[in-house]
Chains A and B, each alone.
Chain A
Amino acid sequence: MELITSLAGELRTVLGTVLSAAPFIIGYVLLILGTLAVWKVIRQFLQPRRDYSALKTVTFGDESAVTSNTVASVISIALIFVLWGAFTGSKLLPGFLHVPGAFTGEGSFTYTAQGPDGSTDEATVMVRVFPAGSEADAPEAALGEGFAKDDGLAVQAYRSELLRFDDNDEFTRDDGASVVAIDGRPVEAGGPGVDVGFATVNVTGRGTLNITPDTGWQMEPIWLPAPEAVWSQLVKISSDGFRNSTLAEHLGYSLFRVIVGFLLGAIVGIPLGYAMGLSDWFRGWFDPIVEFMRPVPPLALIPLVILWAGIGEVGKIILLFLAALWIMAIAARSGVSGVRISKVHAAYSLGASKWQIMRHVIIPNSLPDIFTGARVAMGVCWGTVVAAELVAAEKGAGMMIMVASKFQSTDIVIMGIILIGVVGFSIDMLMRWAERILVPWKGRG
């Protein structure tokens, strides 16, 4: 009961988040529809004559006629980079496309202090807001007249800074002095802040001033670095390396684990699948094991594998071997069971022996299924190796982004994620290409 109540609470939180994201999603969809409308108008100018597909009588319902629109893909990718650049103030993007950034530069406000005797005096605070990664001194402030003296303060963008205004005043807070107004607007300790144009200033419970410069709409580099920062990290890490290993070494180690683990899984899994497809004894023997192990996500095995084999290469390769093994065994099994009996009959009545049928009918007939399995297995292995490296590794793509995140090097994290995606995509493309070359009859039996 308690569980249900707490889960319901979690669900409310999640739905709340989804709802708060809804305006953005709706806006995005409207943007897509808007570009579609624009594209239609443009296309009418480009190609006044209707193309063949526009002559179809059925314009809806023939899903097989839907192909990917390249223009939409290009716009979609470009938009991702434009949004990324706009929200990070990227230098690759003309300034007018940037969303308002965090305030940097100089600004000032006044505060009104009240002395213990009830008299008030005004003083000016000069604030210098400097971007992250640079340093700046507090501006010199003339002391001014009266018991409250002018102050100078340096604040890093996206941070806030406390100002003990009374350090140089004639009355300190211990004497009973306090700030009663900012820029002429009354404030009280612990109360809401005052907008002074470039920042928000409020009086803390202890009477000091807290200055928070405006952050604007842009993301702080620690959350999301600009594209060029990611790119320059890529350049830097590919020449200097990261954590004593070059980028090629990190990716190479990950790929090495995947390939060795996958190959071992295939070398054991394919014969196992064949045995299961050809012999009811083997099938009975291994079916319970395979059917149980298949739904266990390889990631769930990580703790056990670390306990048994440690965090070295052996443990990772065992993990990937297990990830590939069941997939390959099941693919080979269904490849064998999927053979049309008429093909086997035909081969027998053409005089083939059992061994020849195995060699010339059953094995080639199972290749398309095995290739499908291999593609799935490679994808799963790549995902598993990255996850395993997140947990524990000396080298590897996953280790790289995990360590970088501990040091808050978001640019390296994003670069790593992009590289992991690119490698995964390339693996899949390579497998598809091999499939087209090696089993061109796939799906055309």
Chain B
Amino acid sequence: MSDLDIQKLSMRFDLPGGGSVQALKDVTLTLKEGELLSVLGPSGCGKTTLLNIVAGFLAPTEGTITLGGKKVTGPSAERGMVFQQGALFEWMDVRDNVSFGPRMRGQKPSQYRDEVNHLLDVVGLGDFKEKAIYELSGGMQQRVALARCLANHPDVILMDEPLGALDALTREKMQGLVLKLWKETGKTIILITHSVEEALLLGERLLVMAPRPGRIHKEYRLPFAETGVTQDLRQVKKTAEFGAVREEILGMIWDMEEEIMGRQEGA
């Protein structure tokens, strides 16, 4: 059982000019193996900070994270990350990017070749294996990033706005792909997004965070990801249920943003 357990996580950044920012306060959360959690919240509420701590890039000021009972102390191959953009290695072609993890573990080409080819076929880049990264479009690059992460067999996949830089149409296709891969591989996924629709469509669970200090505001359990696996995502979006939850969450985030603005004007 590789459950992800986040206990009483707090993060304070000390600013160089004195003073500090409380980016996270007392975040507690347990994610079962194979769950897909999407995280929403106004800008600056600590979403990226949370993900960076889970990935092991940042050490929290308080609290612990365990994955399958093992304490997280730094980055490791069991927690893969898909960045928004610019994290591919331009000096390698598509295939070398995807096989990076296995190669670093010392595997021979015969050991990973078939799987890498398969993954590239799955993400629709079968014909682009030898292409250079800078020859690909933004959406294709994100598919490479996804395949690179999957080729490394992480227990948890962390995604920080992986589709944020894509156009609406490509984004929709990629959402379908993420759902499909999630269902096929059964990975635990944390997905940060700014799009309420995306969070609803993909998240089995949804976390809405509030800022200052960054904390969990409300949690939802959603049925749409399950239906989305079999149905057309556009149809899912049109259902009344989907619309109702979307309005509720939009209103919630809107109120939070207004409060921030009000506080800033008052100060």
Contacts and interface: CB of A to CB of B under 8 A. Distances in A.
**Chains A and B belong together in one complex:** yes
Interface of A: 340, 342-343, 345-353, 356, 360-361, 364-365, 367, 439-441, 444-445
B203 interface: no
Contact of A356 (B56, B104, B149, B152): B104
Interface residues of B, number: 29
Contact of A350 (B80, B86, B134): B80
B109 to A, nearest CB: 16
9 contacts: A345-B87, A346-B87, A346-B148, A347-B104, A350-B80, A361-B89, A364-B91, A367-B91, A444-B134
A347 B101 CA distance: 8
Nearest to B100: A350
A126 B199 CA distance: 107
A351 B55 contact: no
A352 B89 contact: no
Contact of A348 (B75, B83, B158): B75
Given A345-B81, A441-B133, A351 B105 contact: yes
Nearest to B152: A350
Contacts of A343: 86-89
A210 to B, nearest CB: 74
A345 B55 contact: yes
A347 B55 CA distance: 12
Interface string B53-90: 00111000000000000000011110111010011111
B132 A350 contact: no
Nearest to B91: A364
B138 to A, nearest CB: 13
A440 B100 contact: no
A439 B86 CA distance: 17
Contacts of B89: 343, 347, 360-361, 364
Given A340-B87, A343-B87, A445-B90, 19 more contacts: A342-B83, A342-B87, A343-B89, A345-B81, A345-B83, A348-B57, A349-B79, A349-B80, A349-B154, A349-B158, A350-B101, A350-B149, A351-B77, A351-B152, A356-B104, A364-B89, A439-B91, A444-B90, A444-B134
B250 to A, nearest CB: 30
Classify the interface of chain B: helix, strand, loop or mixed: loop
Nearest to B90: A441
Interface of B: 55-57, 74-77, 79-81, 83, 86-91, 100-101, 104-105, 132-134, 148-149, 152, 154, 158
Nearest to B80: A349
B55 A445 contact: no
B133 A353 contact: no
A347 B87 CA distance: 9
Given A351-B101, A441-B133, A346 B83 contact: yes
A350 B80 CA distance: 6
A340 B86 contact: yes
Count chain A CB atoms within 10 A of each CB in B77, B80, B87, B149 and give the residue with the most. B87
A365 B152 contact: no
Nearest to A364: B91
A346 B158 CA distance: 11
Contacts of B80: 349-350
A370 to B, nearest CB: 13
Given A348-B75, A350-B77, A351-B105, A342 B152 contact: no
Contacts of A342: 83, 86-87
Contacts of B133: 441
Contacts of B86: 340, 342-343, 445
A351 B154 CA distance: 10
**Which residue, A340, A342, A347, A364, has most C-beta atoms of chain B within 10 A?**
A342
A439 B89 CA distance: 12
Contacts of B90: 441, 444-445
Contacts of A345: 55, 57, 75, 81, 83, 87
B70 to A, nearest CB: 15
Given A342-B86, A441-B91, A445-B86, A347 B57 contact: no
A347 B104 CA distance: 9
A4 B74 CA distance: 65
A349 B100 contact: no
Contacts of A439: 91
